[in-house]
């Protein structure tokens, strides 16, 4: 199936690694033009070079109030149009609700919540007909994850913002969806697995709770994200799509 991505322009944040980079690879392979970003100048330049000539890398922080407009303006200046964005950011610092510092909550709110909202607004304003937005959220939207109190607090709220944006932007033909990754084999998940001292044992234990009995691969997430962003998913909006091997026990 042709996803209809060729020569369409997308922003992908958090794209120097993990789920953002995995999605950018699929989009680029399908012929899309990309503006990718992360906070680290060296790593985003390396990712852009890997992905090819139709990719521009920009070192920006989603928490910076000027980043959203800069990303959209770069896409328009480079290719004359903007068709959507994958809004991704590194996960907040682990911890419990009782012991996480207020500064960590504020920093995460600025980058995960306000940063994501700003990018969505900028892309919606600048986007061409058929614009598509996808927020990379977490299975914590549906069920809390032990030890990830900040994520548990912020992700469900951002999911409701995405749903609200879908309602508000739908009459203009703009689609907004959320992606709920479960256990995907990224550096972030490996870092969390190592917290208990035996990452292999932690992974084996977690895999027993997943119907497919394994962690997902980043490229498996990337293919789902690319479809959701693409014109092939033109009647899909306002939904939260789990990419978790069936681990969530809720609808």
Asked, for residue 250, whether it belongs to a domain, the answer is no
Asked, for residue 135, whether it belongs to a domain, the answer is yes
Q: Which residues of the chain have pLDDT under 50?
A: none
Asked, for residue 247, whether it belongs to a domain, the answer is no
d(CA 54, CA 182): 30
Asked, for residue 40, whether it belongs to a domain, the answer is yes
Asked, for residue 195, whether it belongs to a domain, the answer is no
Q: Would you tell me how many other CB atoms lie within 10 Å of the CB of residue 97?
A: 11
Asked, for residue 107, whether it belongs to a domain, the answer is yes
Asked, for residue 57, whether it belongs to a domain, the answer is yes
d(CA 138, CA 147): 14
Residue-range definition of the domain harbouring residue 107: 9-184+218-241
Task: Specify the pLDDT at position 132.
Answer: 98
Q: Domain total for the chain?
A: 1
Q: In what order do the strands lie in the sheet with 55-59?
A: 55-59, 33-38, 9-12, 84-87, 132-136, 175-181, 240-243
Beta bridge partners of 243: 181
Q: What CATH number is given to the structural domain containing 85?
A: 3.40.50.720
Are the beta carbons of 30 and 3 closer than 8 angstroms?
Answer: yes
Summarised one tens digit per residue, pLDDT across range 18-55 is 999 999 999 999 999 999 999 999 999 999 999 999 99
Task: Specify the pLDDT at position 90.
Answer: 79
Task: Specify the pLDDT at position 119.
Answer: 97
Burial of residue 216 (number of CB atoms within 10 Å: 0-12, 13-18, 19+): buried
Q: Could you tell me the two tokens for 205? A: 């234990």
Task: Specify the pLDDT at position 1.
Answer: 85
Asked, for residue 3, whether it belongs to a domain, the answer is no
- Show the DSSP H helices in the chain as ranges: 18-29, 41-51, 67-79, 102-108, 115-126, 149-169, 187-193, 199-207, 218-229
Task: Specify the pLDDT at position 89.
Answer: 84
């Amino acid at each position: 199936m042709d996803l209809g991505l060729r020569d369409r322009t997308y922003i992908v944040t958090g794209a120097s690694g993990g789920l953002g980079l995995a999605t950018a690879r699929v989009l680029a392979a399908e012929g899309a033009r990309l503006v990718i970003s992360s906070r680290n100048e060296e790593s985003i330049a390396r990712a852009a070079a890997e992905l090819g000539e139709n990719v521009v890398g920009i070192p920006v922080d989603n928490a910076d109030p000027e980043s959203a407009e800069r990303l959209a303006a770069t896409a328009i200046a480079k290719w004359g149009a903007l068709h959507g964005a994958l809004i991704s950011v590194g996960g907040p610092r682990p911890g419990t609700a009782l012991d996480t510092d207020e500064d960590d909550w504020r920093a995460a709110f600025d980058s995960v919540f306000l940063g994501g909202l700003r990018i969505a607004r900028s892309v919606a304003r600048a986007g061409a007909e058929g614009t598509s937005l996808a927020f990379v959220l977490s299975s914590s939207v549906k069920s809390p994850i032990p030890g990830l109190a900040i994520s548990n607090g912020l992700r469900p709220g951002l999911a409701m913002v995405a749903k609200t944006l879908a309602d508000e932007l739908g009459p203009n033909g703009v689609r907004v969806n959320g992606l709920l990754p479960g256990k995907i084999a990224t550096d972030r998940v490996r870092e969390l697995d190592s917290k208990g001292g035996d990452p292999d044992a932690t992974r084996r234990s977690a895999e027993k709770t997943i119907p497919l009995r394994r962690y997902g691969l980043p490229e498996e997430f990337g293919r789902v994200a690319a479809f959701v962003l693409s014109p092939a998913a033109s009647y899909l909006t306002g939904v939260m799509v789990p990419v978790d091997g069936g681990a969530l026990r809720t609808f």
